[in-house]
A and B are shown apart, each in its own frame.
Chain A
Amino acid sequence: MSNLTLPLDITSLHRAFEAGEWTPGAITRYYLDKIRANRLNAWLNVSEERALEQAARAERILSDSGGKVPLARFPLFGVPMGIKDNLAVQGEKLTCASRMLAEYIAPYSATVVERLESAGAITLGKLNLDEFAMGGSNENSAFGRSLHPTHPERVTGGSSGGSAAAVAGGECLAALGSDTGGSIRLPASYCGIFGIKPTYGRVSRYGLVAFASSLDQVGPMTRTLEDGTRILQVISGVDPRDATSLVMPAITRPQASPLQGLRVGIPAEFDGEGLSSDVRSSFQDLKERLTRAGATLIPCSLPHITHSIAVYYVLAMAEASSNLSRFDGVRFGNRAATAAGAESLEKFYAENRSLFGAEVKRRILLGTFSLSSGYADEYFLRAAKVRALIARDFDHAFQNLDCMLSPVSATAAFRAGEKSSAPLQMYLNDLYTVPANLAGIPALSLPWSRDSDLLPIGMQFMGPRGCDEKLLGIARSVEKLRNGGAS
């Protein structure tokens, strides 16, 4: 079938199934072959048996329905997907790209994985990430970074680097990522695909290994916005197993919303220095195209977001220090070889917890500090207060806006190793993405242009809390605008 065109989105895949050009088994085997070739180090575990079983089931269903894709029951029928390896798939390894969990098999499936699979998706395997999703370049993976599909010497961005590389590099049709401070949007931008971070609470976190519980959110990473929307529809919805999941209006089929009269906020705090000239001119280009299409650009101000990075790292590390306490080598996961002869319980813990990588250790230490007696008031509690102010800034600004626009990152994908010795530089890279997590609002990364090296540059659209559907509608029009169509 190699002479046939490869369907690059869900709609074409379904058309190919119905035309008999591809079968679920054939497309699954095609991707499994590509994954096995391992061009990008994007995969940490391939669930071949599971995928082939699911494909076989899909073929039976297809033949039972007379060759017609039963879209109503299976909106993701036969869609070969990759899952970020911090999401549980029952019976499969769940490593979080950490030596701590290198051999750990998940005893249950994440709600999002259950929902994907019952919507007909095929689970190809687990995707690389920064260890426990802590990082912005995928260089913190204990199993080596995934490679940028077109510029292998560059980073994919992170932490969902494997997801972005696999989707952009054609090793799966779509993937799930998770976003705590930009972990979906940044790699999506670097690799030139769509990445959606939904409103906090729209998607269940049950089965997502927590990094910072109050910020983490699962979302789709896809080549088209349409595909991202479909996947989001499937994984959305309140989950009785996640107390922080919320009842929200369901996402139906977002209509491209007219750009004419659209009120687009441009936060002054995001429009400043620090942007690379390529990103700046790409941003400028988008703003001009939007204006020409009839949108109104409205300068706005979010005074407290200048503190975003500080607030984010205090809160995220504090939560992480507690969330990662369960990894002690006692009940599950790996136990350090040196732990066996430990003379005390403390030593036993110390040996086991030495399995964490350097960045994870750094964050646990900093987080523990900011919660300690005598420092909690000054760090954790103050950060929590400023976070509330940041959320209020957004609420305030959105009263007169339909959405906000900013770059995803100050630069395109940087070279591997370039920032690994400067953690603070790395943290500053999250400047544009972190505020949406702090405010719990939906945000997405839309691939807008390429720089002179042909590196993708993504733009970020943010919407009011709960208004994911509206945001997707706006992004759809912008996608059309990019593709040269009129809105």
Chain B
Amino acid sequence: MSLEFEAVIGLEVHVQLATETKIFCACPAKPPAGVSVADIAPNAHVCPVCAGHPGTLPVLNSRVLEFAARAGLALNCAINRESIFARKNYFYPDLPKGYQISQYEKPVCEWGRLEIDTDRGRIPVRIRRIHLEEDAGKSVHEGPATLLNLNRAGVPLVEIVSEPDLRSAKEAETYLRELHAIVTTIGICEGNLQEGNFRCDANVSIRPKGAEKLGTRTEIKNVNSFRFVEKAIEYEIARQEQVLRSGTKVIQETRLFDADRGVTLSMRSKEEAEDYRYFPDPDLIPVRLSEGLLESIERGLPELPQARRRRYQEALGLSAYDAGVITRDAGMMNFYDQAVKLLSPQDRPDAGLAKSVANFLTGEVSRRINDEGCELSASRLTPHHLVELARATAGGVISSAGAKQALNLAWKTGETISVIVDREGLKQVSDIGQLEPVVAQIFSDFPAQIAELRSGKDKVLGFLVGQLMKRTGGKANPALLQELIRKRLAEE
């Protein structure tokens, strides 16, 4: 008998807020622009408050409340006008106070919703809550010693908790990408996964297809890449299926994903689970969000990725794929929007320049970003470059190969496309007087192919144009060459 199983997945995502200072003190919350977390000296961003020294008190950085509200509004949540902080008590060396300040009852946001496109069609994923909390420090194990780096202690986070509405690893990945695009678009998170800005815990269980009752779940902790989340969940689903098919039971436990081996490993079971003894933090008063502030936050929200995707497809004629790739990343989205703004009204959408700009982004630009693992902002490329390239290509000034070359140079130097094209000699030859003799030469060198062409076999046209390109050093305008070949044929 082959029983079919269905996975039930809920995600808890820790989003690091991009505030200048920590959540409860004035220490920097992040490295200066362009500097990696790893390059900050251990414990350089630490004061008596975030180190939990006796007698110190937390004072809320009000920006974090605004950021959490922004997330809530972008995710269609109900926003609590009054929310409270609670202490989550547990012992760990990198938790300076012996408790984490978090929210338990009355988080900033509840009851939200995010729609994603899946194999099951468009589905709503319910958001249970979004709450604020402080990050812990980092334990560094060096031989027999454990060292502590408290730079991260007190860095503000929102935890976005979904209901178990996801049914596959792929759906989980889609949800995460969408969430990532949203938090970066609304500017509350820098979104750098390598730096731990966006981390995910996945709750996974399986049940016989059609069953109502949920199976026993396991929690996979702290996965910080989209691909790893997908792999970890896939592995965990398969593991649980195997456990159930072998007639044993899934144990409720916390598991860790070992990325090298592609497996999840047991960390601690429920019996060892902690009692966090939550209670309202008496050092912090309930915080209030006024209607006025909420209204201004809502007014200030940028166009969200889903709306942009729709606009790109409907108004600019982009393919679903291109619109999807561009809206995956706030940096690229904003870059594209700026480029589109530079186009004059008659350039779009019929002239196809908006599409052409998009093609550069989803093609050559994405390739470089992926290959080099860098950010678009790390290059010297500007939206203006892409518009120049799109115009030059459409106007036959440069070939698509030439455009690629120019883009890659502009990426490095930031020079204008026209300067690059002139210096590198990328301009296409469109001078008929210069090209006609070369075309005539082809006719005499490839009589067989010409005969085929004459008999209506258009396929050889590509071959002939290729030959012509070779002879002109790749600089001839291929469209013009085709035209000249046909003209000569007609004249014969």
Contact A325 B51 (CB under 8 A): no
Contact B55 A207 (CB under 8 A): yes
Q: Which residues of B contact A101 (CB under 8 A)?
A: 54
Using known A-B contacts A213-B283, A244-B282, A244-B285, determine if residue A326 contacts B98 with beta carbons closer than 8 Å.
yes
A243 within 8 A of B: yes
Q: Which residues of B contact A88 (CB under 8 A)?
A: 54-55
Query: A201's closest neighbor in chain B, by CB?
Result: B285
What is the CA–CA distance of A147 and B404 in the complex, to the nearest angstrom? 87
Contact A205 B57 (CB under 8 A): yes
Using known A-B contacts A243-B285, A325-B99, A349-B91, determine if residue A94 contacts B51 with beta carbons closer than 8 Å.
no
Using known A-B contacts A243-B284, A244-B285, A325-B91, determine if residue A110 contacts B98 with beta carbons closer than 8 Å.
no
Flag A189-222 by CB within 8 Å of B: 1 or 0 each: 0000000000000000111111011100000000
B275 within 8 A of A: yes
Query: B49's closest neighbor in chain A, by CB?
Result: A241
Contact B96 A326 (CB under 8 A): yes
Partner of A373, one of B57, B60, B277, B282: B277
Interface centre among A96, A108, A207, A330 (most CB of B within 10 A): A330
Q: Which residues of A contact B275 (CB under 8 A)?
A: 372-373
User: How near does chain B come to A183, taking the closest CB pair, in angstroms?
Assistant: 16
What is the CA–CA distance of A468 and B53 in the complex, to the nearest angstrom? 31
A312 within 8 A of B: no
Q: Which residues of B contact A87 (CB under 8 A)?
A: 55
Give chain B interface residues in 53-93, CB to chain A under 8 Å.
53-60, 87, 89, 91, 93
Contact B93 A345 (CB under 8 A): yes
Partner of B56, one of A206, A327, A368, A371: A206
What is the CA–CA distance of A428 and B24 in the complex, to the nearest angstrom? 38
Contact A368 B55 (CB under 8 A): no
Contact B57 A368 (CB under 8 A): no
User: How near does chain A come to B231, taking the closest CB pair, in angstroms?
Assistant: 31
Q: Which residues of A contact B87 (CB under 8 A)?
A: 322
Contact B55 A106 (CB under 8 A): yes
Partner of B60, one of A243, A330, A371: A243
Partner of B277, one of A94, A345, A372: A372
Contact B277 A108 (CB under 8 A): no
B425 within 8 A of A: no
Q: Which residues of B contact A325 (CB under 8 A)?
A: 89, 91, 97-99
What is the CA–CA distance of A214 and B52 in the complex, to the nearest angstrom? 18
Using known A-B contacts A213-B283, A330-B148, A373-B277, determine if residue A94 contacts B55 with beta carbons closer than 8 Å.
yes
B48 within 8 A of A: yes
User: How near does chain A come to B58, taking the closest CB pair, in angstroms?
Assistant: 7
Q: Which residues of B contact A107 (CB under 8 A)?
A: 48, 53
B446 within 8 A of A: no
What is the CA–CA distance of A87 and B89 in the complex, to the nearest angstrom? 24
Query: B287's closest neighbor in chain A, by CB?
Result: A243
Flag A333-376 by CB within 8 Å of B: 1 or 0 each: 00000000000010001000000000000000000100111001
What is the CA–CA distance of A324 and B98 in the complex, to the nearest angstrom? 8
Q: How many positions in chain A have a CB within 8 Å of any CB in the partner chain? A: 45
Q: Which residues of A contact B463 (CB under 8 A)?
A: none
Q: Which residues of B contact A322 (CB under 8 A)?
A: 87, 89, 98-99, 277, 279
Q: Which residues of B contact A318 (CB under 8 A)?
A: 279
User: How near does chain A come to B268, taking the closest CB pair, in angstroms?
Assistant: 13
Query: B89's closest neighbor in chain A, by CB?
Result: A322
Q: Which residues of A contact B98 (CB under 8 A)?
A: 322, 324-328
Partner of B54, one of A96, A243, A330, A371: A96
Contact B277 A319 (CB under 8 A): no
Partner of B96, one of A106, A241, A331: A331
A240 within 8 A of B: yes
User: How near does chain B come to A130, taking the closest CB pair, in angstroms?
Assistant: 16
Q: Which residues of B contact A243 (CB under 8 A)?
A: 57-60, 283-285
A242 within 8 A of B: yes
Contact A368 B54 (CB under 8 A): no
Q: Which residues of A contact B89 (CB under 8 A)?
A: 321-322, 325, 371
User: How near does chain B come to A365, taking the closest CB pair, in angstroms?
Assistant: 13
Contact A326 B97 (CB under 8 A): yes
Using known A-B contacts A213-B283, A325-B98, A330-B93, determine if residue A94 contacts B54 with beta carbons closer than 8 Å.
yes
User: How near does chain B come to A114, taking the closest CB pair, in angstroms?
Assistant: 12
Give chain A interface residues in 89-110, CB to chain B under 8 Å.
94, 96, 101, 104, 106-108, 110
Query: B56's closest neighbor in chain A, by CB?
Result: A206
Query: B58's closest neighbor in chain A, by CB?
Result: A243
Flag A233-249 by CB within 8 Å of B: 1 or 0 each: 00000001111100000
Give chain B interface residues in 274-322, CB to chain A under 8 Å.
275, 277, 279, 282-285
What is the CA–CA distance of A189 and B438 in the complex, to the nearest angstrom? 113
Partner of A332, one of B53, B59, B60, B282: B53
Q: Which residues of A contact B97 (CB under 8 A)?
A: 325-326
Contact A206 B55 (CB under 8 A): yes
What is the CA–CA distance of A243 and B65 in the complex, to the nearest angstrom? 15
Using known A-B contacts A213-B283, A243-B285, A331-B148, determine if residue A208 contacts B55 with beta carbons closer than 8 Å.
yes
User: How near does chain A come to B125, taking the closest CB pair, in angstroms?
Assistant: 29
Contact B279 A371 (CB under 8 A): yes
What is the CA–CA distance of A377 and B93 in the complex, to the nearest angstrom? 29
What is the CA–CA distance of A208 and B148 in the complex, to the nearest angstrom? 26
User: How near does chain A come to B65, taking the closest CB pair, in angstroms?
Assistant: 13
A380 within 8 A of B: yes
User: How near does chain A come to B55, taking the closest CB pair, in angstroms?
Assistant: 5
Give chain B interface residues in 93-116, CB to chain A under 8 Å.
93, 96-99
What is the CA–CA distance of A321 and B97 in the complex, to the nearest angstrom? 12
Q: Which residues of B contact A240 (CB under 8 A)?
A: 59
What is the CA–CA distance of A275 and B98 in the complex, to the nearest angstrom? 42
What is the CA–CA distance of A429 and B453 in the complex, to the nearest angstrom? 111
User: How near does chain A come to B273, taking the closest CB pair, in angstroms?
Assistant: 10
Query: B284's closest neighbor in chain A, by CB?
Result: A243
What is the CA–CA distance of A368 and B52 in the complex, to the nearest angstrom? 20
Query: A87's closest neighbor in chain B, by CB?
Result: B55
**Can you list 17 pairs linking A and B with CB atoms under 8 Å apart?**
A86-B55, A106-B55, A206-B56, A207-B55, A207-B56, A213-B282, A243-B284, A318-B279, A319-B279, A322-B99, A324-B98, A326-B97, A331-B148, A332-B51, A371-B89, A373-B277, A376-B277
Going nearest first, the 8 A-B pairs with the smallest beta carbon separation are A325-B98, A214-B282, A371-B277, A213-B282, A209-B54, A207-B55, A209-B55, A330-B93
List 18 extra interface pairs beyond A86-B55, A331-B52, CB under 8 A. A87-B55, A88-B54, A207-B56, A209-B55, A241-B57, A241-B59, A242-B57, A244-B283, A244-B284, A321-B277, A322-B279, A324-B98, A330-B148, A331-B148, A332-B54, A349-B91, A368-B277, A373-B275
